[in-house]
């Protein structure tokens, strides 16, 4: 038997063990944005550290940060001239609310048919555990033909505030030939995917303060500006009637989509029916001049993520609220600069705000878009995916954001292999998140092939 067939066999034989490990990680409620879950983030980090020690990693180190810890590990290859692959992952997850929409408890991973349901099952504990399962299977069947480094963070879902600085100051520790980042996903379950572009993100929050406390709307209504009304009026002016963003200057630096790029995007099967089914909307809505895949991959957006003002309980209460708040984010494309876009939005909203209320705007996080037509290891990864799925790889420009790809390019000088085994209907960031297990299995097999494809010696 070859090393490859033995590794694949080992994975098949121990599938239940790997699934249990995966479930054990999903069971830890590592919601990074919620301070109450801080100990759970450390738990998840220590769980992974223990797994990496179990794999015989020579170095496993937990670096505390201002926020949640960063885990670094290294498992060296004995082979002379073995390339170094840096595997990125995040062990934090998004909040679970609205909890009442979940059919099973989010942190009690449940297998239902072909799916594992639970927060983080797809984004991205499943992908982290797929990587570890592949490494363990390769090691169980022989030597490791590549040196592996792991960089696992607990703040991805809140914009990785500690990671940029860490990567900058630990560039030597993280030095590598190849970056594998499985935090992205697939086009469909039959289309193994490599992502070559991601949108950036700007996240901000605005607040309008009116009266010093909620007021009786009869006694004072008509004499004070209502922050909720004003907020609604401002938000209504953030878009033009055709759906484009109305912030002056917003599109100034947007790189137009070249004809070649249009063809490349069009080569990915895009199924409008699937979009309608996954989203449940009665009709798609977006810039008419662009296809759905162009809209998510290569066009910027501005969206209100949440609004809060006044009385939102059962029944009625006659008040003028003291304040109103909105959380707003923009998905950015090359060459939009998050800081510049923030200033443009701030200036525009300021110009729309009447003097009868006080405005404050804060920036939560910002990261530029990522676009690269190649990355070291691309050929090997594509071959591993194609052999596993027995079909061609789809190359996709994604709408989500993985800011670390840009950070690594900046400080390590290495472009990332962006892939992953989640599907568009996994309901990531949403209730009932799940991972399609047959796809996860193929993903592990593909990663085994990928690691072993560097074994030129045997
Ligand atoms: N894994 C996702 C991003 C993703 C999902 C990329 C599917 C491609 C396909 C990641 O965990 C994520 O959600 N990122 C955040 C980043 C933000 C908080 C800076 C996002 O895109 O909202
Ligand atoms: Zn996410």
Report the SS3 class of residue 312: coil
- Which ligand sits closest to the CA of 400? 1
Given this model, what pLDDT does residue 256 score? Answer: 96
Mean pLDDT of 31-46: 98
Q: Lowest-pLDDT range, 10-24, 258-272, 396-410?
A: 258-272
Give the CA distances from residue 77 to residues 71, 85, 147, 152, 212, in Å, rounded to whole numbers and listed in that order: 20, 11, 5, 20, 64
Residue ranges of domains in the chain: 3-198+369-452, 200-253+300-365
Give the CA distances from residue 344 to residues 111, 203, 250, 253, 335, in Å, rounded to whole numbers and listed in that order: 47, 13, 7, 12, 15
- pLDDT of residue 271 exceeding 90, the answer is no
Mean pLDDT of 428-450: 98
Do residues 55 and 139 lie in contact, with contact meaning Cβ atoms separated by under 8 Å? yes
Given this model, what pLDDT does residue 36 score? Answer: 98
Do residues 420 and 400 lie in contact, with contact meaning Cβ atoms separated by under 8 Å? no
Mean pLDDT of 8-19: 98
Of ligand 1's listed atoms, the one at least distance from the Cα of 199 is 21
Mean pLDDT of 415-420: 98
Number of H helices, E strands in the chain: 14, 18
Q: How does residue 288 score in pLDDT terms, banded at 50, 70 and 90? A: very high
Q: What is the pLDDT of residues 159-169, one digit of tens each?
A: 999 999 999 99
CB-count burial class (<10 Å; 0-12, 13-18, 19+) for 402: buried
Q: Lowest-pLDDT range, 94-98, 238-242, 247-251, 267-271?
A: 267-271
Residues near ion ligand 2 (CB < 5 Å) are: 123
Do residues 180 and 453 lie in contact, with contact meaning Cβ atoms separated by under 8 Å? no
Asked: is 200-253+300-365 a CATH 3.30.70.360 domain? The reply is yes
CB-count burial class (<10 Å; 0-12, 13-18, 19+) for 200: buried
Enter the CATH code of domain 3-198+369-452.
3.40.630.10
Give the integer Cα–Cα distance in Å for 124 and 156: 10
Give the integer Cα–Cα distance in Å for 160 and 364: 11
3-198+369-452 with 200-253+300-365: one CATH topology? no
Say which residue, 373 or 14, is predicted with more confidence: 14
Report the SS3 class of residue 434: strand
Q: How far is the CA of 186 from the centre of ligand 1 (A)?
A: 13
Of ligand 1's listed atoms, the one at least distance from the Cα of 422 is 7
Closest protein CA for atom 1 of ligand 1 = 183
Q: How far is the CA of 388 from the centre of ligand 1 (A)?
A: 25
Report the SS3 class of residue 82: coil
Closest protein CA for atom 9 of ligand 1 = 184
Q: Lowest-pLDDT range, 44-58, 201-215, 268-282, 407-421?
A: 268-282
Q: Which residues line the pocket of ligand 1, CB cutoff 6 A? A: 123-124, 156-157, 159, 183-185, 201, 365, 367, 398, 400-403
Q: What is the pLDDT of residues 183-208, one digit of tens each?
A: 999 999 999 999 999 999 999 999 99
Given this model, what pLDDT does residue 456 score? Answer: 76
Mean of all residue pLDDT scores within the chain: 97
Q: Among all residues, which ones are annotated catalytic?
A: 92, 156
Given this model, what pLDDT does residue 457 score? Answer: 52
Give the integer Cα–Cα distance in Å for 190 and 179: 24
Q: What is the pLDDT of residues 111-150, one digit of tens each?
A: 999 999 999 999 999 999 999 999 999 999 999 999 999 9
Given this model, what pLDDT does residue 458 score? Answer: 45
Task: Report DSSP state, residue 282.
Answer: S
Q: Strand locations in 347-389, DSSP E?
A: 358-367, 370-371
Give the integer Cα–Cα distance in Å for 312 and 135: 50
């Amino acid at each position: 038997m070859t090393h490859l067939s033995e590794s694949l066999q080992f994975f098949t034989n121990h599938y239940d063990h790997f699934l249990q490990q995966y479930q054990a990680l999903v069971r830890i409620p590592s919601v990074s944005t919620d301070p109450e879950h801080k100990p759970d983030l450390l738990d998840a980090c220590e769980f992974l550290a223990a797994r990496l020690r179990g794999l015989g990693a020579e170095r496993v180190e937990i670096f505390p940060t201002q926020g949640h810890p960063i885990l670094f590990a290294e498992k060296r290859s004995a082979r002379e001239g073995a390339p170094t692959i840096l595997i990125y992952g995040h062990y934090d997850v998004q909040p679970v609310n609205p909890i009442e929409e979940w059919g099973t408890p989010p942190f009690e991973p449940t297998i239902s048919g072909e799916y594992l349901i639970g927060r983080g099952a797809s984004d991205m504990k499943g992908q982290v555990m797929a990587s570890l399962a592949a490494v363990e299977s390769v090691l169980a069947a022989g030597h490791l033909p590549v040196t592996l480094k792991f960089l696992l963070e607990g703040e991805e879902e809140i914009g990785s505030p500690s990671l940029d600085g860490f990567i900058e100051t630990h560039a030597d520790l993280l030095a590598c030939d190849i970056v594998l980042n499985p935090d992205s996903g697939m086009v469909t379950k039959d289309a193994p995917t490599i992502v070559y572009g991601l949108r950036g993100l700007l996240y901000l929050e605005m607040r309008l303060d009116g009266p010093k406390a909620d007021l009786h709307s009869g006694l004072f209504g008509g004499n004070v500006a209502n922050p909720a009304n004003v907020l609604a009026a401002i938000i209504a002016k953030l878009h033009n009637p055709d759906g484009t963003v109305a912030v002056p200057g917003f599109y100034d630096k947007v790189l137009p989509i070249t004809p070649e790029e249009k063809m490349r995007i069009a080569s990915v099967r895009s199924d409008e029916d699937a979009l309608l089914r996954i989203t449940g909307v009665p009709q798609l809505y977006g810039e008419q001049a662009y296809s759905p895949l162009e809209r998510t991959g290569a066009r910027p957006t501005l969206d209100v993520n949440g609004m809060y003002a006044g009385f939102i309980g059962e029944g009625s209460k006659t008040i003028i609220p003291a304040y109103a708040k909105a959380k707003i984010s923009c998905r950015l494309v090359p060459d939009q600069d998050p800081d510049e876009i923030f200033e443009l939005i701030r200036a525009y909203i300021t110009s729309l705000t009447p003097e009868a209320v006080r405005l404050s705007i804060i920036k939560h996080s910002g990261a530029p878009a990522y676009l690269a037509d190649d990355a070291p290891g691309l050929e090997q990864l594509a071959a591993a995916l194609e052999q596993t799925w027995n079909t061609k790889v789809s190359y996709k420009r994604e709408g989500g954001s993985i800011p670390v790809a840009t950070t690594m390019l900046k400080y390590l000088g290495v472009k990332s292999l962006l892939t992953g085994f989640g599907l568009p209907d996994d309901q990531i960031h949403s209730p009932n998140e799940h991972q399609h297990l047959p796809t996860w299995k193929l993903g592990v097999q593909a990663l085994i092939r990928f690691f072993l494809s560097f074994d030129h010696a045997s």
